[in-house]
Amino acid sequence: MNLNNFPELSTLTDDCLLLVWDAVTQTTRKVKLSTLKSYLGANASSNNNTFTFQSFGDNKGIFYYLGLNGGTTWSNPVDINKLVISAIGVNNPAIPLTTIVDREQGNFHTTYNNNSWVQFDLIDKKVKLNYWTYRARYDSSYYIPPRLIISGSDDGASFTQLDDKSFSANVNQWVGNAIADQSVAYRYIRFTCPGEIYFTIGEIELYGVLQ
């Protein structure tokens, strides 16, 4: 039994009491979640889930998981306060940052800046990032930016570079990249588009170990 397979437990703390059926004594017992985790050899947080990339646009990513919120109906994770997105600037207020994670190929773009960026705040969680995907805007002649830098941070101020990916052609498609195993989990993940440019985004998804 792996507690990570039960996302409904992710909202509980280690001090929460669970009703457990004891098949040996045929009785119901109250057990602390921390005791159950220790017994099962799951001393890591019950929020420790691994999300593995399978295909572009899949439902195996972290933003999709956050949008489920422990249930079966998906909502935009920003709308249910599971994710905060910020950017260097929003060029068109009618196309908000929430469209980046709405599972549709949108047409968001930042203001025209040097080193334009978009940042994801996991709020009460952290991720050991091992894969990311980016989808170009559906209506833009800019398409995929020539280069993307992905960084992580614990405080939203000091960032560690995790990946630096260049693209040879401006085409309208999905792209992604695997990141070498990360030993550090970060609350904030930032995508930066180097150079003086509009950062155009259709969709972004993250994969890795969520804590």
Q: What is the pLDDT of residue 41?
A: 45
When the pLDDT of each residue in the chain is averaged and rounded to a whole number, the result is 82
Mark whether 11 and 57 lie in a shared domain: no
- 66 and 129 belong to one structural domain: yes
Residues 179 and 87 in one domain: yes
Q: Kindly report, residue by residue over 103-115, the tens digit of the pLDDT.
A: 887 777 787 888 9
Percent of the chain whose pLDDT exceeds 70? 81
Higher pLDDT, 44 or 116: 116
Strand partners, 20: 29
In this structure, are 135 and 155 located in the same domain? Answer: yes
Higher pLDDT, 157 or 111: 157
Q: Is residue 73 part of a domain?
A: yes
**What are the residues whose beta carbons fall under 8 Å from the beta carbon of 157, sequence distance 6 or more?**
none
Amino acid 209: pLDDT: 95
Determine, yes or no, domain membership for 191. yes
Amino acid found at 125 = K
| For the ranges 15-24, 42-51, 173-182, the one whose mean pLDDT is highest | 173-182
Q: Indicate whether 141 pLDDT > 70.
A: no
Does the pLDDT of residue 129 top 80, yes or no? yes
- Are 71 and 27 members of one domain? no
Smallest Cα–Cα separation from 70: which of 4, 1, 129, 127? Answer: 4
**Inside any domain, residue 139:** yes
Alpha-carbon distance of 188 to 156, in angstroms, equals: 6
What percent of the chain is helix, strand and coil (3-state, nearest 5)? 15, 40, 50
Do 110 and 145 fall within a single domain? yes
Name the domain count of the chain: 2
Instruction: Answer yes or no: do 54 and 29 share one domain.
Output: no
80 against 1, higher pLDDT = 80
Beta bridge partners of 90: 110
pLDDT digits (tens, 9 = 90+) for 80-89: 999 999 988 7
pLDDT of residue 4: 52
Q: Who's near 56: CB < 8 A, 6+ residues apart?
A: 133, 135, 174, 176
Measured CA to CA, the distance from residue 6 to residue 129 in angstroms comes to 21
Cβ neighbours of residue 18 closer than 8 Å, sequence gap 6 or more: 30, 31, 32, 33, 36
Instruction: Provide the pLDDT for residue 45.
Output: 38
User: Do 10 and 102 share a domain, yes or no?
Assistant: no
Residue 10 pLDDT greater than 70, yes or no: no
Residues 102 and 17 placed together within one structural domain of the fold: no
Query: 21 is in which domain, residue-wise?
Result: 3-39
Query: Does one domain contain both 28 and 68?
Result: no
In CATH, what number is assigned to the domain containing residue 64?
2.60.120.260
Task: Give residue 76's pLDDT.
Answer: 94
pLDDT value of residue 85: 94
Report which of 156, 157, 149 is spatially closest to residue 132, judged by C-alpha positions: 149
Same domain, yes or no: 13 and 113: no
R_g over Cα of the chain: 19
